[in-house]
Amino acid sequence: MQTNFEIKKSNTLRFFRTLRQQSPLSRKELERLTGLSWGSISAISSELLQKNLILAEKESATTGRPPERLAVNPSVALSLGIDINSVGLSLNVVNIVGASLHAVFVPLPSAQKEDLLATLKTEVHRILELFPALIGINLSMQGKLNRKTGESIRTNFFTDWKNVPLVQFFEEEFHIPTVLYHDPEALLTYHMHADRRLREARNCIVIRVDDGIGMAQLFNGQLYETGEDTSCELGHTIAVPNGIQCACGKHGCLEAYSSLRGMKAAYARKSGRDPEEFPIALAAQDEIANAVMDEACRYLGIAVANLFTLFDVDSILIDGLVPAQLPRYYERTQDYARAYLNADCNLLQSSYKRDAAAIGACLLTTEKRLEEIIFDDSMYPV
């Protein structure tokens, strides 16, 4: 049997989550949406207003007393999201409702671990000068991670990168609680927040295609986590047995064929030209470039068809730099997925946002710490 305090806590969390999703709302609207009594709504709103976690806005009215609408205070519980990606570093200060207040994108200084960590240190110190009261740092990282230790075990995009204690590095330098996430998980969380097509989804998959290929899954309304070590690496499933060597050391990985880096390498092998010319050649309808992308889309289309067959998902969303910048990549992948499924499929393309994973990492942590944010008096301004 729940105690009065446990009931109050549950009701307050329901109230606050509803307001986070749909601000601003009147007390009557909150009563209807949450199913809480008018007395509970009044008591909770009064307490949260006193703590400055929510704000009251008066609406204009021609007659009588103007109605009041409530909204989450966008200035409390600010956190920093950092997406560490082979295409660059995205740093975002994000508020409690998932809005980005300050965004910085930094091209990679080099592929060397020490250069990357030094750049991160410099950029975070700059941000802390502007936002000294951040409650957390939330990292989105490619490759294999250890959730328990906060280590980046390996990535194929940076040199000398093995068992890097990222959480320890940030906490020792900045003395701010830090969390490490696999980047597709952060990306999926962002889309669940921002994309109306996924907002009410129970089962869906997001695939990120950049220099690598990553995947995250929502299962029964919950983000599917694979345990201490992240291991849901779609990019390192085998597309071509005994195929070309992947950066991970295996042969025939999907990532070696269907990622941007894989396509550039294939174009260079087949044309004898600079791999960086691939996007230009593709835009010019170059025959070799077109054939390279067609092969890439065929293998990704097979992977997508297999995912629809293996998992009872409502939709699969493809995101990342590749479908956003390469013409026809998404459409060709969709065509191949339909062909191998022998049916239509709810394959979606996202509106690419470079900061999405950084914002999603903040949203993940905010939800996990929501109880602390609401009930720990030290976390909100006096």
DSSP conformation letters of 48-105:
HHHTTSEEEEEPP-SSSSPPEEEEE-TTSS-EEEEEEETTEEEEEEE-TTS-EEEEEE
Mean pLDDT for 96-118 is 93
Task: Return the HEC string of 223-260.
Answer: ECCCCCECCCCHHHCECCCCCCECCCCCECECHHHHCH
Where in the sequence of the chain do the CATH 3.30.420.40 domains occur? Answer: 79-186+356-379, 201-349
Rounded to an integer, what distance in angstroms lies between the CA atom of residue 122 and that of residue 124? Answer: 6
pLDDT at 381 over 50: no
Rounded to an integer, what distance in angstroms lies between the CA atom of residue 179 and that of residue 171? Answer: 10
Per the listing, tokens 């959480």 go with 167
Distances, alpha carbon 65 to alpha carbons 45, 50, 56, 197, in Å: 19, 22, 14, 38
pLDDT of residue 348: 93
Give the chain's mean pLDDT.
Answer: 91
Q: Do residues 263 and 246 touch, judged by C-beta distance below 8 A?
A: no
CATH topology of domain 4-72: Arc Repressor Mutant, subunit A (1.10.10)
- Give the number of other CB atoms < 10 A from CB of residue 172: 10
CATH architecture of the domain with range 201-349? 2-Layer Sandwich (3.30)
- Poorest-pLDDT segment among 64-68, 97-101, 276-280, 355-359: 64-68
pLDDT of residue 60: 61
pLDDT tens digits for 242-267? 999 998 889 999 999 999 999 999 99
Mean pLDDT for 111-127 is 95
pLDDT of residue 229: 60
pLDDT of residue 14: 94
**Cross-strand partners of 88:** 85
**Percent of the chain clearing pLDDT 90 (strictly above):** 74
E strand or H helix that includes residue 47? helix 38-50
pLDDT tens digits for 168-217? 999 999 999 999 999 999 999 999 888 888 887 889 999 999 999 999 99
**Percent of the chain clearing pLDDT 70 (strictly above):** 94
Where in the sequence of the chain do the CATH 1.10.10.10 domains occur? Answer: 4-72
* Beta pairing class for 54-58 and 144-146: unpaired
pLDDT tens digits for 215-238? 999 988 888 876 656 556 899 999
Closest CA relative to residue 328, chosen from 288, 362, 279: 279
- Residue 193 gets the label, from left (phi > 0), alpha (psi -120 to 50) or beta, of alpha
pLDDT tens digits for 46-94? 999 999 999 998 766 555 566 789 999 999 899 999 999 988 999 999 9
pLDDT of residue 344: 86
E strand or H helix that includes residue 299? helix 287-310
In 3-state terms, the chain is what percent helix, strand and coil (to 5)? Answer: 45, 20, 35
Mean pLDDT for 101-110 is 93
Choosing among 3.20.20.80, 3.40.50.740, 3.30.420.40, 3.40.1410.10, the CATH entry for 79-186+356-379 is 3.30.420.40
